[in-house]
């Protein structure tokens, strides 16, 4: 049986600080292949090479990955500062309209870390440039030292809304997650529902209200050891079911206003 195709959003990257490339973490492909049950395709996220309509036709679903570059603050009406870090304007130009099209079509997608933030910005929301600088907030950034396992270690709880989609999916109000991000949601976008928060009230899990398709997105990195993690696996499995349904032609009914 032919596997459905899931597009993995890539980032611009310089090999040896000089050779331009599009890159995606191997663990994203592993999660899509092994847990979602789909064929992972790395998307060169640049409007010179791909268009939103082509991507919608090519892929049954999308994973909006993390990445060192941040969404440019001009995309949510603010000026760039040193605290905003590096940017990938080509990725912004593809992902933000793609997310809006997916919401409209009911086509499944999952946002992870930067992808989580992209979903919020695509829907009209804003971001804090640096969470750890806010009063009462913890440092959510990746630990600078240690092994990969230590950097992706579970570091804080996420508490979900009683009876919300994440609570129903995991069967628990609280789970432990890793945390490897500097920015975070400031103002939720239109229809963006914050369904899970860290102990310092940083938004960690969202979905799009009344969207006809799968839109669950998280601020942490569930792709790390996704097949074996009790939180990551059900999230990717649920996304996989939505992807297979879409590929099979079982499309959600889209409610349109008169």
List pLDDT tens digits, range 125-177: 999 988 888 888 988 887 777 888 888 878 899 999 999 999 999 999 999 99
Inter-residue contact 31 to 227 (CB < 8 Å): yes
Instruction: Provide φ and ψ at 115, rounded to 5°.
Output: -60, -35
Domains of the chain, residue spans: 5-247
Give the closest residue to 197 by CA, choosing from 212, 175, 181, 182.
175
Q: Which tokens hold the place of 182? A: 């500097």
Confidence (pTM): 0.93
**Assigned CATH topology for domain 5-247:** Rossmann fold (3.40.50)
CA distances from 87 to 72, 83, 208 (A): 6, 11, 25
List pLDDT tens digits, range 42-94: 999 999 999 999 999 999 999 999 988 899 999 999 888 877 778 899 999 99
Mean pLDDT of the chain: 93
User: Helix/strand/coil (H, E, C) string of 168-204?
Assistant: HHHCCCEEEECCCCCCEEEECCCCEEEEEECCCCCEE
Per residue in 25-58, is it b (16+ CB within 10 Å) or e — as a string? Answer: bebbbbbbeebbbbebbbbbbbeeebebeebbee
- Supply the pLDDT for residue 219: 96
Sign of the dihedral defined by the CA atoms of residues 159, 161, 166, 167, in that order: positive
């Amino acid at each position: 049986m032919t596997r459905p195709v899931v597009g993995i959003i890539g980032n611009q990257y310089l090999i040896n600080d000089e050779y331009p490339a599009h890159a995606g973490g191997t663990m994203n492909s592993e999660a899509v292949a092994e847990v979602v049950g789909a064929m992972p395709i790395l998307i060169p996220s640049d409007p010179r090479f791909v268009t939103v309509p082509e991507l919608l036709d090519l892929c049954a679903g999308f994973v909006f990955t993390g990445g060192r570059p941040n969404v440019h603050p001009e995309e949510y009406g603010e000026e760039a500062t040193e605290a905003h870090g590096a940017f990938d304007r080509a990725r912004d130009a593809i992902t933000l309209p793609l997310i809006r099209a997916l919401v409209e079509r009911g086509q499944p997608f999952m946002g992870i870390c930067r992808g989580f933030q992209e979903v919020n910005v695509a829907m009209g929301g804003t971001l804090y440039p640096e969470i750890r600088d806010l009063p009462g907030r913890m440092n959510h950034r990746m630990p600078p030292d240690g092994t990969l396992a230590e950097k992706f270690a579970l570091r804080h709880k996420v508490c979900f809304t009683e009876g919300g989609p994440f609570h129903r999916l995991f069967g628990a109000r609280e789970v432990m997650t890793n945390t490897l991000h500097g920015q975070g949601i400031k103002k939720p976008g239109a229809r963006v529902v914050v369904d899970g928060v860290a102990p310092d009230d940083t938004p960690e899990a969202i979905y799009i209200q009344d969207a006809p398709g799968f839109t669950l997105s998280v601020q942490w990195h569930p792709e790390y050891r996704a097949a074996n993690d009790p939180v990551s696996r059900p999230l990717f499995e649920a996304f996989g079911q939505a992807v297979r349904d879409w590929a099979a032609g079982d499309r959600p009914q889209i409610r349109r206003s008169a």
